[in-house]
Structure 1
Amino acid sequence: MKYAGVCLLIAGVLFAVTSRWFGGSPESVHAAGTHYTVTVMAADRVEVRVTSGKADTVTLAAAMPGMGHALPPVGTVQPDPGRFVATQDVFTMDGVWEVTITVSGDQGEELITVSLLV
């Protein structure tokens, strides 16, 4: 019985790793500020969808507190209304990151911070 638990644990880890390597869906996180609501997807290029409020620009700043890393802000391009894609890589390694999303638009500027597992 003890080995069954270990086998299930190993199977779960293998599933998580292989689904990421072989095209599993990226993690998405929803967060709301006072004026804007966003959905953040940690794919090859981080994507932010502003689902509430009209945004003109979005900037991303990533930090990995557990490792003491903080990276300079990354700009985005807007291929569709409300959809913003990072212009460069946001993350330098796998792990837990805190991403501060600066949204500017018709409701002014707002910072929304989310945690992502990359």
Structure 2
Amino acid sequence: MKRCALGAAAVAIALVAALLVLWPRGVEARPQVAESGQFRFELTPTTTKSGSNTLDLVVTDHSGNAANGEVTVEPAMPQMGHALAPITAAPVGPGHYRVGDVGLTMPGQWEITVSLSAERVVIPLLLT
């Protein structure tokens, strides 16, 4: 009886350890950078998981000075034919903008088009 209990405990511990090691995790959200002729755009999502997301944007000129103006983002997933209407980013501070509650509903490769004045860049964003 003692051997059965020890064997069951060992199997349970091994199962928990395997789940901890193999459980899928989201990739850490890291800044994605793109440059246009006039600006540097740095986009950081709050998460790399599909679903509702917040996108932080820092826009500077090539000298590092904060850019000003209306910033819009247009998320699209061309492989699946998905696109969202342009969203105006809210200014948070000089050169810092935020777009909340962006519905990136599917895992996969998204393309975030960011615009300021006549400058546009496309920033790839991979979601799990």
Matched, 1:110 2:119: yes
> Which amino acid in structure 2 is aligned with residue 89 of structure 1?
V
Question: Over alpha carbons, which structure has the higher Rg?
Answer: 2
Q: Number of matched residues?
A: 99
Shift of 1:56: 1.3
TM-score (norm 2): 0.67
> Which amino acid in structure 1 is aligned with residue 123 of structure 2?
V
Q: Aligned with 1:56: secondary structure? A: coil
Gaps of 5+ in 1: 1-10
Match of residue 39 from structure 1: 42
Gaps of 5+ in 2: 1-18, 47-52
TM-score (norm 1): 0.72
Alignment RMSD: 2.4
Q: 1:25/1:33 Cα in 2 relative to 1: closer, same or farther (>3 Å)?
A: same
Match of residue 99 from structure 1: 112
> How do 1:30-109 and structure 2 match up within 5 A?
30-43=33-46, 44-52=53-61, 54-104=67-117, 109=118
Cα distance in 2 for residues equivalent to 1:77 and 1:94: 25
1:27 and 1:117 in contact (8 A); partners too: no
1:74 and 1:87 in contact (8 A); partners too: no
Q: Aligned with 2:90: secondary structure? A: strand
Larger displacement relative to structure 2 (36-45 or 48-57): 48-57
Q: 1:38/1:74 Cα in 2 relative to 1: closer, same or farther (>3 Å)?
A: same
